[in-house]
Amino acid sequence: MHPMRPEIPMAPLWPTLPPPPPTPAGHAAAWRVPSEARCVALWDRFEMPEHIRAHSRKVAQVACQLAEAGIKIGIPVDLDTVRASALLHDLAKIYCIRHGGNHSQLGGAWAMALTGNPLLAQGVIHHVYWPFEVDIRRFFTPLTVLYGDKRVAHDKIVPIEERFGDLVARYGKTPEICERIHSTNRQAKDIEDAFGRLLEKDLNAHDFDSGRLVD
């Protein structure tokens, strides 16, 4: 820090974003929440391959079960926003495979431009790594998307350790890459533990394929 310049604390990049307000009949939503059919139309528009569509559906399955459990204990979360954010989280994946770039950042920008919904876009842009405090109540929607992504390897719902083992096997070409993957793994476990404490569920023991998370 410069000796003559006081340190100015930085505000978080993302404020706490409430769920979209209810929309009266006949009025356009201020924050658009695309339907599942609209998300599929966007997959078509951006030429998403079938294996990424299958992965996205499974991520949405996990994220929506978390949202349903959150709603049950009074968390103000919008299920349709969670579903759409999860379905669109890899919207830019094939473009970045073909042309380079960061698929979460580009996908978040596309999601914001297409929907005008910052909460939905937040889930897309931060589904790889969460750069802020792990506050589940404050950031419930985007963290459901991130956690859903960390529980799905390809199109299978698996424990976090299996998901990251696959990532190390496919991408761990250098010690530096392996350390980044392990750092993301540790954060995912912290998020899993935080969700588990809030929802009073053992998420590691839940396969998300055998039924709803809520009883």
Query: Within a 10 A sphere around the Cβ of 82, how many other Cβ atoms?
Result: 30
Residue 165: predicted pLDDT = 78
Task: Please report the pLDDT score of residue 15 as a whole number.
Answer: 55
Mean pLDDT for 159-176 is 81
Q: How much is the mean pLDDT over the chain?
A: 86
pLDDT tens per residue across span 28-63: 445 689 999 999 999 999 999 999 999 999 999 999
Q: Give the Cβ contact number of residue 91 at 10 Å.
A: 25
Provide the residue ranges of all domains of the chain, joining segments of one domain with +.
36-205
pLDDT value at position 11?
47
Range 155-179 burial, b when 16+ CB lie within 10 A, else e: eebbbbeebbbebeeeebeeeeeee
* CATH of region 36-205, choose from 3.30.1490, 3.30.70, 3.30.160, 1.10.3210: 1.10.3210
Closest CA to 61 of 202, 207, 185, 215: 207
Q: Which residues pair with 152 in a beta bridge?
A: 157
What is the structure's pLDDT at 26? 45
69-125 confidence digits (pLDDT tens): 999 999 999 999 999 999 999 999 999 999 999 999 999 999 999 999 999 999 999
Residue type, 80: D
Select the more confidently predicted residue: 27 or 59. Answer: 59
Stated pTM of the model: 0.83
C-alpha span between 25 and 27 (Å, rounded)? 6
Q: Residue 166's pLDDT is what?
A: 77
More confident residue, 23 or 115: 115
